[in-house]
Amino acid sequence: MTAPTPTQLAHAIRFLAIDAIVRATEGHQGVPLGMAEIATALYTRHLKFNPADPTWPDRDRVVLSNGHGSMLLWALNYLTGYEKISLDEIRRFRELGAHCEGHPEFDPSKGVEVTTGPLGQGIANAFGMAIAEASQRARFGAGLVDHFTYAFVGDGCLQEGIGQEMISLAGHLRLGRLVLLWDDNQITDDGSTALSISEDVAERFRVAGWHVAEVDGHDIDAVSAAMDAARQDPRPSLLACRTVIARGLARLQGQRGGHSARLYPEDADAARQLLDWPHPPFETPAPVLHAWRTAGTRSLPAHAAWTARRDALPAVERAEFDRTLAGELPAGWRETLHAYKREALAAQRMQDAPGGILISADINDRLTDVLPERLVGCADLEAPTSHKRRLHAFTADDPSGRYIHCGVREHLMGAMANGMAAHGGVIPLAVTYLAFSDYERPAMRMAALMGLPVKFVFSHDSIGVGKNGPTHQPVEILAALRSMPNMLVLRPADAVEAAECWEIALEHRSGPVSLVFARQALPTVRRPSATGDDSDDSDDSDARDNRSRRGGYVLAEAEGGPRAATLLATGSEVAIALKARDLLQAEGVPTAVVSMPCCERFDAQDADYRRSVLGRGAVRVAIEAAVRFGWDRYLGEDGGFVGMTSFGASGPADALYEKFGITAAAAAATVRQLLAQRA
Amino acid sequence: MTAPTPTQLAHAIRFLAIDAIVRATEGHQGVPLGMAEIATALYTRHLKFNPADPTWPDRDRVVLSNGHGSMLLWALNYLTGYEKISLDEIRRFRELGAHCEGHPEFDPSKGVEVTTGPLGQGIANAFGMAIAEASQRARFGAGLVDHFTYAFVGDGCLQEGIGQEMISLAGHLRLGRLVLLWDDNQITDDGSTALSISEDVAERFRVAGWHVAEVDGHDIDAVSAAMDAARQDPRPSLLACRTVIARGLARLQGQRGGHSARLYPEDADAARQLLDWPHPPFETPAPVLHAWRTAGTRSLPAHAAWTARRDALPAVERAEFDRTLAGELPAGWRETLHAYKREALAAQRMQDAPGGILISADINDRLTDVLPERLVGCADLEAPTSHKRRLHAFTADDPSGRYIHCGVREHLMGAMANGMAAHGGVIPLAVTYLAFSDYERPAMRMAALMGLPVKFVFSHDSIGVGKNGPTHQPVEILAALRSMPNMLVLRPADAVEAAECWEIALEHRSGPVSLVFARQALPTVRRPSATGDDSDDSDDSDARDNRSRRGGYVLAEAEGGPRAATLLATGSEVAIALKARDLLQAEGVPTAVVSMPCCERFDAQDADYRRSVLGRGAVRVAIEAAVRFGWDRYLGEDGGFVGMTSFGASGPADALYEKFGITAAAAAATVRQLLAQRA
């Protein structure tokens, strides 16, 4: 074999995919076979990357939004020389523990920028990466941050609403470094795309302000030229690449079965015949492999130049750049929160207490000066959530802004935040009402699955929403969020716990958090520590001691005897629990109140601590303006619950708390009843 | 006052809205003030409706997709004479228990076709109504079914992904009876729409194949002419109505605050001045009210003619039409399920058992002949979910099809099904993988809130999905669905329970169900009753006795002594529980297996039944390939759980069950350990 042709490079992808899928007995050949030429054009002629330093901060990002086509990525990453993706791993495609999973799973060290699979998420992540790039470039300059984000994308991602949200907002924000590579094969799982779509997709992008090029996706030169044009254009770009699904498999190409019909050794043999590829399974001829490995070194000069520029930075600037990339927090962030907490403890605001979400807004406003990498997205609820304040908007003309008006596009907002977190260098917040978290939930699940430190912020967290009615009143959503693995759900009771929860949220790096705030006022329930005096020292110990960190704690201990009852509550219901405790204590029932801002953290405590907080012999009643589902693990066999058993209703918040019986009187009555049953 | 002008009719809407919002101290004036002329054109010149018979089956449907503007609907429904919407109710806007809620809540008898609030849902519901109309028209003819569906819609609904999904599919399906009335006021909650969108929205609709008219939304004649054109056009229509938000309030109109800034009596006074409306609050001058009430009678001739046509139908056809509208099931549906169940009991398929979802597909195939009103939507997973079989596709050219290729648009599919159910006459199914239910969830919540009998069908319900990996493996989703009020979650263990669960699902009229099926094979776990012999009678009693109906039941009682342990399981894990029981019984531990296909139904049983099933003294271990969250209520203080504590992984299903320890051996070991702790 002489120097391989570009087409032979593409065939190397094809046959690795075919052989691995035949061996695994399942997989999705449609994408790797249909997009082999597109990928070859990208990786051998355009992509800025370095398999020897896969997490190079200024690398171009590549997202395989059609993640079922994972063999495309595994083949590319093997061929270009990512150490983790060895030929052995390719052979282990889809086996348990293999690096080559059925869908790509987040691990930049093996060339996977983001986990993909659920359609539409990937291109929305890519959009978030492009925002993070633009934001960082605005801050640190193009010498340090100057890369593209490419996404492979199929019809499914573009049919999904989240994909449409992305098209609209990316065009609006003129994200010129975002390039989509559309596998326009006119086939989805059901068959012809004509079954479910008849619009001109390219035109839909043009309407949204995108640069669009329509090319033959199997013509490497044409695709490459289109990539050049895309990179020059100030708008985001769609390369609409006409392709043949499963190209090379005579039995399946261009057909519905091309997507993922089972492949057999005979199919592989036939493809070898058809494409003139007389090499054994899993064997890439040396000249072809060499050409691919050479492509894997094409950005070494750029890598060296970038490293030199980074090294030449003034120490302070370099440290700041490195810090944000490492996801480390700057000096002063914790003190800012402690100061807020100290003030809240001192002020003890009751009748004049601000709404829960406004407390979070106040805290975030304080963080503006100390956490410049914080990027806040909000889905058209700026006024009621108030997390903009002194930030200015990120716009097409000014990417230095740190507030993103996402429009009424919650799903995109969540997935965008994931992309920003996966990109690194920024701390994304995504703000909306809790009732609308369901719109974001598929993205939240991906954040939890990937372990991305996204801060999902929610307001209007219960029937406390009031007159807007049950559509806007979460009742099941806390439970639904708490059921999600690797998701911390934080629901603070007052300004003190809010500061503590923000401290937990910012410290937490191994996954997302949901910070859940009431619309209604949250009077201060935490008191300065009883042992303290007015000296600065005790103040500081109160400020530093984050009682929320253990998830649940005794806010008010029973008095006048051994604890007879424990009232557990979160958020806005903690104040109700305290009132119920007053009623019961007045009747001589020694009652403790446990505040439980984070069930997941409480569950992680040792058994002794949990028992001591819950109170071993005490009857236990939980109070939360939400469903009981999930609470029983704290209540024992005879526990009680004061909360919701249905959706809410339209009416004033106070009237709703009465109507649904979430009151101090009801909680006290429940305790009395349980004690009587025991007696 | 002489005969009122059309503009005065519009002002009547405006002032009812202003007065009610001032009185309620909150509300959203932007929509009713901005769309008053559009609504006047629709209700006085085009709408086919009859406030005296609000549920007239062939009425035009009106959806207020921008549901925050509920005062538009309340004003219209008062003015046109819906009995439930009296002036007193208008005065009670947003009070607890008032018919005039903050957002419209589903009640066709008061002119609310669907609950709206979360943006985008309403227009997707309207889309579903238009599908139901087309389907029913294809079946029963235009003499009985021949109406339009109109939706008021704001920018938010069109920014939402679900809205974009709807635009795409409605254009594709050429739903000519669907007319959107877009309140193009260039303002959202954050301010100018230019903050978050710059595309030409009208052009986006044109790309999708819609008829678009751009008109001055305050010119009643122009709007009316556009409505005429829309009704003539065979494509779905967008009336892009340029409007001024909050028109009439000098302080707010055309401004961000027009959306929902608080209104004061002074604002109302100023508006009266500006618009020359010298009438006291809540008072509509008699000639204006008369004109409106007359508009409310404009369809009486059409109503009478329709009634005559319906009454003239042959008895059988009429009964069938009435039956489907009433949501009643036809003769034979239950027997079809019983026959299937009888066969499943007799066959006892073990090694050759079909995949769970294929069992549901088989059952549905049987129902094809007996339930012609069943309409199946599926989000591009026809092959793996297999619920098409003998159905043909609903298309633009053939609306008699009963299978809707929804494309990769789960959210739309769910909301479409809601619209179909709200419309009546059809039984909607929405089919996809359980992992993608999160995409549908906001619509599922609306189905639960409205109490709509939608059948949400899910396949691939656990790590049993296998090599496609954690993105496609639900672990938290069962819990999240079970946490939702008014949602029945059914997860059958085998073909027998599958038939029982479908029986429950079809009987269930007061809310949606989620039918959850494994991808992997479900061997038969139910045995013919021990008391039975081979006579037809006992067979029939087995078939008729729906043991799943109580939610949970003892599938296999403990033997050899009083029950020491109860194993609870659902779906694919029931077979594992039975194997664990074998292990324990062999060791002399009397162990029962409880199958729990529906927790919600079990929770509704009396305490005696529940205790007898759970086993009062027995240690209890639940087995489910999902998270523990929610199970503790059945497990007591010292119960155990065998299931997932994290997301899944990519690998063969069997290997994953081993890896995550969801095995008979693990379940037996957990029982032994708990018994040892007690001893």
Closest CA to B641 of B575, B578, B567, B580: B567
Q: What is the pLDDT of residue A543?
A: 86
Q: Which residue of B has its CA nearest to A437?
A: B442
Q: What are the structure tokens assigned to B614, written together?
A: 């759970």
* pLDDT mean by block of 10 residues, chain A; 679 residues: 91 98 97 98 98 98 98 98 98 97 98 98 98 98 98 98 98 98 96 97 98 98 98 98 97 95 97 98 98 98 98 97 97 96 95 96 97 98 97 98 98 98 98 98 98 98 97 98 98 98 98 98 92 56 93 98 98 98 98 98 98 95 98 94 98 98 98 95
Q: What is the pLDDT of residue B626?
A: 98
pLDDT band at B296 (very low <50, low <70, confident <90, very high): very high
Q: What is the pLDDT of residue B679?
A: 84
Residue B534 has pLDDT above 60, yes or no: no
Q: Do domains B6-303 and B333-516 have the same CATH topology?
A: yes
Contact (CB<8Å) B171/A199: yes
- What is the Cα–Cα distance from B399 to B378, expressed in whole angstroms? 16
- What is the Cα–Cα distance from A275 to A273, expressed in whole angstroms? 6
- What is the Cα–Cα distance from B323 to B116, expressed in whole angstroms? 27
- Among the listed residues A101, A113, A133, A410, the single catalytic one is A410
ipTM attached to this prediction: 0.98
- What is the Cα–Cα distance from B495 to B475, expressed in whole angstroms? 23
Contact (CB<8Å) A479/B630: yes
CB of B519 within 8 A of CB of B572? no
Contact (CB<8Å) B102/A468: yes
Contact (CB<8Å) B652/A439: no
B/e letters for A162-179, b = 16+ CB within 10 Å, e = fewer, are bbbbbbbbbbbbbbbbbb
Instruction: List, in sequence order, every residue forming a beta bridge with B112; answer none if it has no partner.
Output: B107
Q: Is A410 assigned a catalytic role?
A: yes
Pick the CATH number of A551-678 from 3.40.50.920, 3.40.50.2000, 3.40.50.300, 1.10.1060.10: 3.40.50.920
Q: What is the pLDDT of residue A408?
A: 98
Residue B394: its chain A contacts at CB < 8 A?
A: none
- What is the Cα–Cα distance from B111 to B547, expressed in whole angstroms? 40
* Residue type for position A392: H
Contact (CB<8Å) A160/B439: yes
- What is the Cα–Cα distance from A252 to A244, expressed in whole angstroms? 10
Q: How many CB pairs under 8 A join A and B?
A: 323
Residue B480: its chain A contacts at CB < 8 A?
A: 479-480, 483-484
Contact (CB<8Å) A475/B486: no
- In this complex, which of B96, B118, B378 lies closest to A655 when CB atoms are compared? B96
Q: Which fold has domain A6-303?
A: Rossmann fold (3.40.50)
CB of A503 within 8 A of CB of A340? no
Q: What is the pLDDT of residue B539?
A: 60
- What is the Cα–Cα distance from B36 to A96, expressed in whole angstroms? 61
Q: What is the pLDDT of residue B57?
A: 98
Contact (CB<8Å) A172/B198: yes
DSSP-derived secondary structure letter, B263: P
Residue B486: its chain A contacts at CB < 8 A?
A: 646-647
- In this complex, which of A102, A378, A405 lies closest to B469 when CB atoms are compared? A102
Q: What sign results for the dihedral spanned by CA atoms B610, B616, B621, B627?
A: positive
Q: What are the structure tokens assigned to A200, written together?
A: 């001109």
Q: What is the pLDDT of residue B261?
A: 94
Q: What is the pLDDT of residue A535?
A: 52
Cβ count near A353 (within 10 Å):
21
Residue B649: its chain A contacts at CB < 8 A?
A: 96-97, 101
- In this complex, which of A199, A485, A651 lies closest to B96 when CB atoms are compared? A651
Picking from A471, A476, A603 by the largest number of B CB atoms within 10 A of its own CB, the best residue to mutate is A471
Closest CA to B244 of B182, B183, B335, B321: B183
Picking from A155, A159, A432 by the largest number of B CB atoms within 10 A of its own CB, the best residue to mutate is A159
- What is the Cα–Cα distance from B510 to B490, expressed in whole angstroms? 15
CB of B146 within 8 A of CB of B137? yes
pLDDT band at B541 (very low <50, low <70, confident <90, very high): confident
Pick the CATH number of B333-516 from 3.40.50.970, 3.40.50.620, 3.50.50.60, 3.10.290.10: 3.40.50.970
What is the DSSP annotation of B5-35? Answer: PHHHHHHHHHHHHHHHHHHHS----HHHHHS
Q: What are the structure tokens assigned to B357, written together?
A: 């979802």
Residue B438: its chain A contacts at CB < 8 A?
A: 438, 441-442, 445
| Cα-based distances in Å from B35 to B121, B255, B468 | 19, 15, 49
Our CA angle for A161, A162, A164, nearest 5°, is: 65
Picking from B121, B438, B489 by the largest number of A CB atoms within 10 A of its own CB, the best residue to mutate is B438
Residue A208: its chain B contacts at CB < 8 A?
A: 199, 204
Residue B33 has pLDDT above 90, yes or no: yes
Distance from the Cα of B345 to chain A's closest Cα (Å) equals 33
Q: What are the structure tokens assigned to B337, written together?
A: 């399920």
Which position has the token pair 């992984």?
Answer: B649
- What is the Cα–Cα distance from A491 to A513, expressed in whole angstroms? 11
Q: Which residue of B has its CA nearest to A633?
A: B632
pLDDT in tens, B211-257: 999 999 999 999 999 999 999 999 999 999 999 999 999 999 999 99
| Cα-based distances in Å from B167 to B170, B176, B233, B411 | 5, 13, 16, 13
* Residue type for position A243: T
DSSP-derived secondary structure letter, B540: H
- What is the Cα–Cα distance from A339 to A335, expressed in whole angstroms? 6
Percent of chain B having pLDDT more than 90? 96
Spatial strand order of the sheet with B374-378 comes to: B403-405, B374-378, B427-433, B455-459, B513-516, B488-490
Residue B337 has pLDDT above 80, yes or no: yes
Contact (CB<8Å) A471/B115: yes
Distance from the Cα of B672 to chain A's closest Cα (Å) equals 21
* Residue type for position B206: R
DSSP-based three-state secondary structure for A564: coil
Q: Taking the domains of chain B in order of start, what are their residue ranges?
A: 6-303, 333-516, 551-678
Contact (CB<8Å) A189/B411: no
Q: What is the pLDDT of residue A637?
A: 84
CB of A658 within 8 A of CB of A464? no
Phi, psi of A346, deg, nearest 5: -75, -40
- What is the Cα–Cα distance from A202 to B162, expressed in whole angstroms? 20
pLDDT in tens, B186-210: 999 999 999 999 999 999 999 999 9
pTM: 0.98
Residue B468: its chain A contacts at CB < 8 A?
A: 68, 102-103, 117
pLDDT in tens, A3-23: 999 999 999 999 999 999 999
- What is the Cα–Cα distance from A278 to A272, expressed in whole angstroms? 6
Residue B637 has pLDDT above 90, yes or no: no
Contact (CB<8Å) B197/A651: no
SS (H, E, C) A392-425: CECCCCCCCCCEEECCCCHHHHHHHHHHHHHHCC
Residue B538 has pLDDT above 70, yes or no: no
- What is the Cα–Cα distance from B74 to B95, expressed in whole angstroms? 14
* Residue type for position A117: G
Q: What is the pLDDT of residue A46?
A: 98
Q: Which residue of B has its CA nearest to A630?
A: B630
> In angstroms, how far is CA B578 from the centroid of its own chain?
36
Q: In the predicted model, what is the mean pLDDT of chain B?
A: 97
Closest CA to A647 of A438, A470, A480: A470
